[in-house]
Every structure is written in structure tokens, then in C-alpha cells.
Amino acid sequence: MEDSGSQHDCISGGGTVHTVARSQTKVGDVDKMDCAFSESDMTALVHLKQENRGLKERLKKSEGETRGDCMNGSQCEKCTSLEIQLQEAQQKLEELNKEQESLIDIFSEERIRRDQEEENLRKKLKDASNTIQELLDKVRLLEKMKSPHLKGR
């Protein structure tokens, strides 16, 4: 199943990211949510998907070959060998899906952490700006209060 991706500029960083809307696969629930990935993340994701497709093709090919009749010992050995390869490919696919799920979780957690930190910094900046403005207003008020007294002396 293909992912649909679009590029846009991030407001905070200005870097290009891909927003990926994933559909649910037969293998698991890994691909349920939307995430923003960097170019390197997208490259890794594309590589994993290509490897996944290759493994699926190998599985189909193995299934087709094992359906033949086992007339002699060598065919049965080949069938057994292909079944082992199939199991290895399925295990590799499961590992890749778990790794993909783990990466998605890590990226999501990091994005949430960055968003929280950005919001915290914005609040601190606003508070500091307000404090500066209040102090400037007090200085101006004090200068106005001193000015008439200085002229009278």
C-alpha cells in the first residue's frame, strides 16, 4: 500500500518535512497515524517499504514453488528449504515493522517535547517583554516626577 506524502515548510525551523498519511497494512497497526518526517526519515521509510515489498515478492515466489508436488526427495528438501526461507522472511518483516513502530513513537515523543519546550520559551519571552515594558513605564514616570523639581531649583 502506498503512502501519500506532501512537502511544506515548518514555521519554527524552516526545514522541509513530509507529512505522511498511512493506511493500515495486513501486518499490523503500525501505520495508523499521521506523522511529520524529515528527508532522512522519509528515505529510511522508503527503503524499509522497498525491502518489505521485496520480501513479500520472495514470499509469493516461495509459496508458488512449494505448491508443486513433492515427487522425489530433492523436491521435498527444496520445499522444506523454501518454507524455512519463508519463515525467516516473515520474521524479518515483523522485526522491521516493530522497528518502524519504535521510530514513529520516538519521533512523536520528540515532536511533543519540542512543541512543549517551544511553548514554554514563548511564554518566558512574553513575560520578559511585559516586565521590560513595565520597568520602562516606571522609569518614564519617575523622570516626569523629577523634571518639575529640577526646574524649580
Domain limits of the chain?
4-144
pLDDT digits (tens, 9 = 90+) for 58-91: 988 877 666 655 556 788 888 889 999 999 999 9
CA distance 19 to 44: 15
CA distance 149 to 22: 73
CA distance 37 to 49: 15
CA distance 43 to 39: 6
Give the predicted TM-score (pTM) of the model: 0.40
pLDDT digits (tens, 9 = 90+) for 103-153: 999 999 999 999 999 999 999 999 999 999 999 999 999 999 988 666 555
DSSP single-letter state for residue 47? H
